[in-house]
Amino acid sequence: MKVFKGLAAAVLALAASGAVAQEDTIKVGILHSLSGTMAISETTLKDVMLMLIDEQNKKGGVLGKQLEAVVVDPASDWPLFAEKARELIEGNGVSVVFGCWTSVSRKSVLPVFEQLNSILFYPVQYEGEESQRNVFYTGAAPNQQAIPAVDYLMENESVERWVLAGTDYVYPRTTNKILEAYLQSKGVAPEDIMINYTPFGHSDWQTIVSDIKNFGSAGKKTAVVSTINGDANVPFYKELANQGISAEDIPVVAFSVGEEELAGLDTAPLVGHLAAWNYFMSVDTDANAEFIDAWHAFIKNDDRVTNDPMEAHYIGFNMWVKAVEAAGTTDTDAVIDSLVGVAVPNLTGGYSAMMPNHHITKPVLVGEIQDDGQFDVVWETPGLVPGDAWSDFLPESAVLISDWRAPMSCGNFNTKTGQCGGAAAQ
């Protein structure tokens, strides 16, 4: 009996020491698809988060504790994102989550983060029309990518006809709704706008590209504004080349094609086509050079590229660290309050700041695809552009503002009615 009691005490002591050891780390959730149609884009975001966590741990961690990455794979399965988010928060006890790519995956997890009162940093361009207390949007809103890209094509390429081509889900549909309204406000006739949607992973582009070619043969300069996401981009660009459509004929400006996606393509036929982002690997700043060097050292492969959503995670992660240190705790409510107003360096030069609507300030760049898979920046905004959660070009949204500071604490305050909860849920 004495031996048994001694053994039991030892087991309890060991368990207690294990619990203490677990409490000595701050867990950071990583919620990105490592398989399925979106793995082409999301895997590298998991990798950069591991790098950022590793670098922070070498600096001493946060609040005197080491950070512990908890990685899950929602496998490009939108309902599974919610399940995996709950697993991270409830099962693993993470203090914050960095993840999602598509808007449908983000929409899937929103109720989980609200119910469990946890924090999500979302690093990808999206359609706007949303501001949620538990989410910090470090990717571009439409006024930080889509609208400036269209302005560039109008002013510099004299485009008059527009093909809005997207994957069939919420981000392309809402973005194109905004763009259609914006183009018509600029005097573009409805018959000069062609809209097309395809499913995730779409591979047979022959008929659609033929339709685009015909649409562009009306004697007016035509461009494609692409919100095609994931691995469907590979056959899309190949078919453009197959049908002899060059950037001089019908330029494509993409919102979801960056250096990572180009790494899987023969870029020769794509030279001259465009992408609009807030960061390119080719940007010549000291901060970017240091980031690229650190990335190559961590990933042990000098051929691996960097891209815009990686920079968004870089910004968001550093904002979270700064807010946690300012709050002196990882408590969700305290960190949320501390995040508004935090400013950290971006990689294109200058600082990005978190605004009361949980969006950040960002420069906007248009890049031209080069034959080495990099982008030559051909245009940029003169300064940083604040992210607008609610589009000024949709009547139901133009009256809404977002401010999560007290006393407003509202994601969709209707300036006409003076009420929180205008056209959409918070």
How do residues 304-356 score in pLDDT, each as one tens digit? 999 999 999 999 999 999 999 999 999 999 999 999 999 999 999 899 999 99
How do residues 105-132 score in pLDDT, each as one tens digit? 999 999 999 999 999 999 999 999 999 9
More confident residue, 1 or 168: 168
- Strands 252-254 vs 96-99: parallel, antiparallel or unpaired: unpaired
What are the φ and ψ backbone dihedral angles of 51, each rounded to 5 degrees? -65, -45
CA proximity to 252, closest of 265, 271, 234, 235 = 271
Question: What CA–CA distance (Å, rounded) separates 240 from 212?
Answer: 9
Q: Is residue 61 over pLDDT 80?
A: yes
Mean per-residue pLDDT, 47-74: 98
pLDDT at position 422, please? 57
pLDDT at position 230, please? 82
Measured torsion, CA atoms of residues 272, 278, 281, 286, in degrees rounded to the nearest 10: 130
pLDDT at position 5, please? 47
What pLDDT band is residue 362 in, cutting at 50, 70 and 90? very high
Question: What CA–CA distance (Å, rounded) separates 350 from 281?
Answer: 16
Domain boundaries, the chain: 2-141+285-362, 143-278+367-386, 394-426
The number of residues in the chain equals 426
Say which range, 2-6, 192-196, 202-206, 397-401, has the weakest mean pLDDT: 2-6
Q: Is residue 6 over pLDDT 80?
A: no
What pLDDT band is residue 260 in, cutting at 50, 70 and 90? confident
Say which range, 18-27, 278-287, 295-304, has the weakest mean pLDDT: 18-27
Cβ atoms of 413 and 369 within 8 Å: the answer is no
Question: What CA–CA distance (Å, rounded) separates 256 from 47?
Answer: 19
How do residues 35-51 score in pLDDT, each as one tens digit? 998 998 899 999 999 99
pTM for this entry: 0.89
Q: Is residue 257 over pLDDT 60?
A: yes
What fold does the segment set 143-278+367-386 form as a domain?
A: Rossmann fold (3.40.50)
Homologous superfamily of domain range 2-141+285-362: Response regulator (3.40.50.2300)
CA proximity to 347, closest of 278, 254, 296, 293 = 278
How do residues 126-182 score in pLDDT, each as one tens digit? 999 999 999 999 999 999 999 999 999 999 999 999 999 999 999 999 999 999 999
Question: What CA–CA distance (Å, rounded) separates 322 from 348?
Answer: 20
How do residues 285-318 score in pLDDT, each as one tens digit? 999 999 999 999 999 999 999 999 999 999 999 9
Provide the edge-to-edge strand list for the sheet that holds 193-198. Answer: 193-198, 161-167, 222-227, 252-254, 274-277, 365-369, 375-380
User: To the nearest whole percent, how much of the chain has pLDDT over 90?
Assistant: 86
Q: Which residue bears the tokens 């698809």?
A: 33
Q: Is residue 20 over pLDDT 90?
A: no
Q: Which residue bears the tokens 């080719």?
A: 282
Same fold, 2-141+285-362 and 143-278+367-386: yes
What pLDDT band is residue 269 in, cutting at 50, 70 and 90? confident
pLDDT at position 220, please? 96
Question: What CA–CA distance (Å, rounded) separates 42 from 102?
Answer: 10
pLDDT at position 143, please? 97
Cβ atoms of 335 and 320 within 8 Å: the answer is yes
